[in-house]
Chains A and B, each alone.
Chain A
Amino acid sequence: MVRQSKYVRLVRYIVLLFTVIFSLFPIIWILMMSFQNQKDIISVPPKLLFIPTLTNYVDILMPQVFNAVAQASFPFVRALINTIIIAFGSVLISLFLGIPAAYALTRMKFPGKENIAFTLISFYFAPIFAIALPLYIIFQWLHLYDTYIGLMIAYQVITLPLIVWLLRSYFREVPREIEEASWVDGAGLLRTLVKVDLPILWPGLAASAVLALLFAWNNFAIGLILSGPNTETLTMSTLSYMGYGQVLWGPLAASMVLSMAPELIISVWLQRFLIRGLSFGAVK
């Protein structure tokens, strides 16, 4: 390419510096806030130097220790467990349903094939309320409202299209000859899928599952409509700190930091895969 002039290089570094500050500042800010007491947080002008405290973390993890702020019960641990159950459950269901479907949609010819793939991604792109509102009524009839299984079914609208579309792009990379050789050896279709295909696309499969987990973890609107006191997720419980009256900023910040931390760590590992994952396999 063109040899870059000093001027172009300068512009490039200014853009990067600005981007790094813009990206990191809010994350660092909330991290700092989680180690401040309520007085430091609401002080004007904002305090940059303060004595760090772990009170907020103790408050949300062990609310019984300090009774001072316990008039509001902190739903963090409960919400964390709910989120883990719902997110992992949804992704497991999606893998179970999606792996065979992705195989058929890549390798086989049959009527309606393209329509199925298109319908899947259409539901992903659909306004979530077009599905969540009718489910809200139907789930009440079926007693699935505010249950883990009900939420896992609803979450399929996000995780299943992602898993199927991504795995399709990975199945395309498995050489057909290997499968055919396995058939010649007398292995059946499912056996070949499990013993031949899956070991080859294992890294892609793992990364797809982790990304689907992230999508489920971050979702808010489905829980807002379909979950209740028994199944409240982290994204919902975070908002409940803001409720009426005085906002408890410290515990709010601490619970957000703990909810985000695993994702930020995973993202480093997921980096190489993210482009393909987030574009549903369209860009490699």
Chain B
Amino acid sequence: MRRYNDAYAYAYALTAPTLIILVVFMMAFLFAVYMSLTHYTLLNQVLSFDGLAHYNQVMHSPEFWESAWITIKYTVVTVTVQLVLGFAIALALHELTTEHRILQAIVILPLMIPPVMSSIIWQVMMNPSGGILNYVLQPLGVNSQWLASSSTAIWSIALIDVWIYTPFVTLILLAGLKALPVEPYEASLVDGANVVQQFRWVTLPYLRPYIIIAATFRIIGSLNVFDEVYATTAGGPGVSTTTLSVEIYKMGFQGNLLSYAVAIAVVLFIVVLVITQYLLRLWKEEEEH
């Protein structure tokens, strides 16, 4: 019998097709790094070497730091709200016998739709004059400018983000709840724990790995947010919703500074890469537990 599993040649032969694509992407990224060191625009398509000038410019650009700050606060708020809401909904769905499957099917629908289209739907509903949201929420005293005002626009987009991605957190945590062992609960009952104590000392620790996985996807997703912003405000009013990805797009295609835009993309890539590596290591540690 031949031991295929131990022969490197077979392994590399099987992996080669995927490796070719990986090499293409890596070369694209290396080209991006090279581009960011040149002065390349859509009008002047010459790769003339410019050193680290663009990175120096990025670090000293108030617009860059402004969009970094907008992205950070957007990420913190959306991920926190999604985790809290997703957890609450998962708890409400858990151990619900009969209606469970139908309810779950309804709850995950927003996750299935293209984010661009969800954003357009919400934009229609958020129309400050005559939109359904202000109309429905009028009795509660809500009369918001939603996406039209620079003070509320970013939070309106955050609301759309919450609508789309909370089901993702719900699904992951629901799987975690289903996998909970029974014994610690019985033990905590014997010890006289109440519902809150049980949640704090039994449910939460057991769900830790699931929370980390859900948070990983959502943190990175929010740091990269583009579709929802582009479809609704395109970064406005003013620069109030210009997240990093939107800043990259604006600089590259509207500001005609492609190589400068690529420099920001490289910076964002490195930040996301570091976070990815850290979170994936956390995953692994949890798995080995």
Contacts and interface: CB of A to CB of B under 8 A. Distances in A.
B85 to A, nearest CB: 8
A138 B28 contact: yes
A249 to B, nearest CB: 7
Contacts of A24: 106, 109
Nearest to A180: B1
Contacts of B11: 104, 108-110, 113
Contacts of B198: 2
A98 to B, nearest CB: 6
A217 B114 contact: yes
B81 interface: no
B120 A127 contact: no
B221 to A, nearest CB: 9
B187 interface: no
A183 interface: yes
A49 interface: no
- Band of interface residues on B: 35 or more
Contact of A23 (B95, B109, B262): B109
A218 interface: yes
Interface string A230-249: 00001100110010000001
Interface in B1-46: 1-2, 4-6, 8, 10-12, 14-15, 17-22, 24-26, 28-29, 31-32, 35, 40, 45
Interface string A88-105: 000000001110110111
Interface of B: 1-2, 4-6, 8, 10-12, 14-15, 17-22, 24-26, 28-29, 31-32, 35, 40, 45, 88-89, 91-93, 95-96, 101, 103-118, 120-122, 124-125, 129-132, 135, 163, 167-168, 171-172, 174-176, 182, 185, 189, 195, 198, 210, 213, 217, 220, 223-224, 226-227, 230-231, 244-245, 248-249, 252, 258, 261-262, 265-266, 268-269, 272-273, 276-277, 280, 283
6 contacts: A23-B106, A137-B258, A160-B21, A239-B120, A275-B172, A283-B176
